[in-house]
Amino acid sequence: MEAPSSISYSGHSPTRSISLPAGRRIVLRIIWRFRAKAKRVDEFRNVYGWKGRWAKLFGRSPEYQGTILLQDISDPLLFIVIDRWASADSFTRFQQLFRPDYEDLDQQCNELTDEETLIGNFQDEAV
């Protein structure tokens, strides 16, 4: 998961102002699409799943809220990864603190996939 240089990667800006009812807040979802290498699917699941190496790295931040790993039923090499953060600025703060570790893990994981695409940075409202 190559680190975006800022949270407004590729023109997607999760920080757009939205009016919300009292008690609600904006949370960030970063969504990736991967095609795992056929012989590395199990390893991919172990690294990118909710208890995997990425989740452990992200877990160094108290603002990380978990990862969801989805595998396509009709194409078992296709995965969607949703990384959940407490706010639009959470991932930016994480990157500032842990960029070298992020880049190192990203480099190590390149051998697990044939394709990696950032779908986008999405905002969601939370209660």
pLDDT tens digit sequence for 48-92 = 999 999 999 999 999 999 999 999 999 999 999 999 999 989 999
Look at residue 105 in the predicted model and tell me its pLDDT.
97
Q: What is the CATH number of the domain that holds 34?
A: 3.30.70.100
For residue 2, being part of any structural domain is answered with no
For residue 39, being part of any structural domain is answered with yes
CA 99-102-107 angle, to 5 degrees, is: 125
Considering its fold, how many domains does the chain have in total?
A: 1
Provide the residue range defining the domain that includes 28: 23-126
Q: pLDDT of 7-44, one tens digit each?
A: 333 233 333 434 455 666 779 999 999 999 999 999 99
- Give the separation between CA 75 and CA 126, rounded to whole angstroms: 32
Look at residue 21 in the predicted model and tell me its pLDDT.
56
Look at residue 26 in the predicted model and tell me its pLDDT.
79
Q: pLDDT of 101-111, one tens digit each?
A: 999 999 999 99
For residue 36, being part of any structural domain is answered with yes
For residue 13, being part of any structural domain is answered with no
For residues 30 and 121, the answer to whether their CB atoms sit within 8 Å is yes
For residue 37, being part of any structural domain is answered with yes
For residue 58, being part of any structural domain is answered with yes
For residue 120, being part of any structural domain is answered with yes
CA 58 vs CA 22, 29, 39, 46, 97: distances in Å: 29, 13, 26, 15, 11
Look at residue 33 in the predicted model and tell me its pLDDT.
98
For residue 4, being part of any structural domain is answered with no
DSSP code of 86?
Answer: S
- Please indicate whether residue 1 or residue 87 has the higher confidence score (pLDDT): 87
